[in-house]
Each structure stands twice: as C-alpha cells, then as structure tokens.
Structure 1
C-alpha cells in the first residue's frame, strides 16, 4: 500500500524563490496558501516531509543556523494552522561536492524514508517546481506533481511534455491547487 506521504520541495513550493538564493530569515517569505495547504494535508491524515537543496550553505551565502531559523519559522507557521511537517531533509552541498543527496539524486528522499521508517516511497507524492525535483521523486517510485510557482513555469517551458495529459507529472498552479485535487480524490491515490 502506498504511504500517505507528500514530499515537498521548499523554495518555490512552500515559499517564494529567488535566483539569488534565500539567504536570511527576512528573505524567507512563505506562500500563505501553501502553509494552509500543508496544514490541511496533516489534518486529513497525510504525512508531510520536505526535501530541499540548500547549496547556499556551501557557497557561503548563509550558515546552517540561518537555515534552521527559516525551518523553525516554517514549522511554527504550519503548526499554528493545525498542521505538521514530520521531517525536513536538506542538502547543503554544491554539484562539485559529488554528494548523493543533491536533487536530482534521490538521497534526500532516502533520508526521509529512513527517518519515517518506511519500507518504500513507492506511490508517495513528490511535489516540486523543478525538473530535478521530479527526477528525484521518479527515482524512488513517487507520483509526481509540478507546481507553476517558483521555477515551475520555466520548468514547463523547458519540458513542455510535462503539460501533456499523458505526462507522468500532474501540473497545478500552486501547492494549494494540488492539495485541493488530492483531498477531493481527483488524483489517483
């Protein structure tokens, strides 16, 4: 049986993204509808986790304490709406580090699988705004959803096949739109 798990990318899905990186707590600006959507998932019995590349750490733009402050804020906002994020996995590396956790590699998803003591992620949802999010999810057998927020429109422009009805990925305007469809039973679950 597929786990009732939704794995979210962070920047561009939960909060506004920036090509200049989100480097401080003041730059971390959540989409209010995303916070509410995460809470709704939790309230309906779904487990929510986050898998996020954070190469700004390796680049020296911010440190792990700053990242922790952003995540503390995110968790508190979700909890204030009656929801919960069970686990946050992040990759602090750049491509040249040759780690196994930087998406599109599935290492972050494996960390989530281990942290949640799941036998498999087969059938869980991976929701992102970039092709690398979808690649990481596909490598673990996840169902895929792309949001148009963040880098989502650019991703669709580069990979127009994602917008076709026969695509492996669902496409939604934002996280709230995905959650609406999921909770209404309009997505294969």
Structure 2
C-alpha cells in the first residue's frame, strides 16, 4: 500500500510526521513524502527548527490516484501553507472523491476545511480549529482519536502529539481495511 504524507515545504510538526511514518513502515507499507515544492522539507519541534526530510514527489507531478491513503500531519504553519496551495487542496480533496482513507492530526484538518470535505463529518483536532470545522459543516469533538465513516471514505483524526499512539493504532487499523 502506498501512503502519501502531504506536507508543506516548512512547518510540519516533526513528531506528527515521523511517528505515523514509522508506524506505516513497520507494518510493511510504503510512505511517500509529497509536498508543494521539490527538495527537502523543514520540520519543526513546536517553534524550533528540527530535521529536514527529502520530498519524494510534488503535488504538481503526482496524483492522489497513485496512492491508497493519505496522512496529513499537523503543525500550525504546515496546514496553513497547504490550504493556500490549490494543487495541495485538490490533492487532499481527491482522496475523498475516490473514497480513500485519510488520517489528519492536530492542525491538519485546516487543509480539509479548505478542501470543502467536512460537511456532515465528525472529527477532532487541536481545539483552536473547532470553529473552523463547525463553519465547514463538520461536528467537532474533544477525543483522543475519532473515526468518521460518514461519507465515501474513512477519516481518522486526533488532537495533538500526546494522542499519537492512539492515532497510529487507529490509522493502521482503518488503512488495513483497504484492499489494494
């Protein structure tokens, strides 16, 4: 199974990318780093620069149709930058249009707000997104992890880095239901 990790060139919360990446890799799946620009992305540990990671593909040179699932890591700046990029928003939206599973943590649902795919969905996130999610037609809940199957695909969401063990376990379970 090929799993796209969509991140901006700068601002992803490192642990929210590396822990799900590790979980996916450990079960033998193939994670791919997709961004809006080629080269390397700059991750952060909250507000401090962390490591850089090589981009496997850009949203301009690949398609959601080439992947089986999507992971959207958080970080405040990451989804804020992604939602300003039409190709990134379209890339995320395509997973919903084709019924593929999506997992988003922390601030990552901002990209989904912009994609217009939250109508009738129940999800969680960092608490500051509550109003944005509600304005986009979703229902916000304060839970460690939430699985929503209301729509053509499964959406797994979590609130913050402390929830990563629950997020990773649930993401793997839900992604495992996908036949490739």
Normalised-by-shorter TM-score class = 0.3 to 0.5
| TM-score when normalising by structure 1 | 0.42
| TM-score when normalising by structure 2 | 0.44
More strand by proportion, 1 or 2? 2
Which structure exhibits the higher relative contact order, with contacts defined as CA atoms closer than 8 Å and separated by 6 or more residues? Answer: 1
Select the structure of larger CA radius of gyration: 1
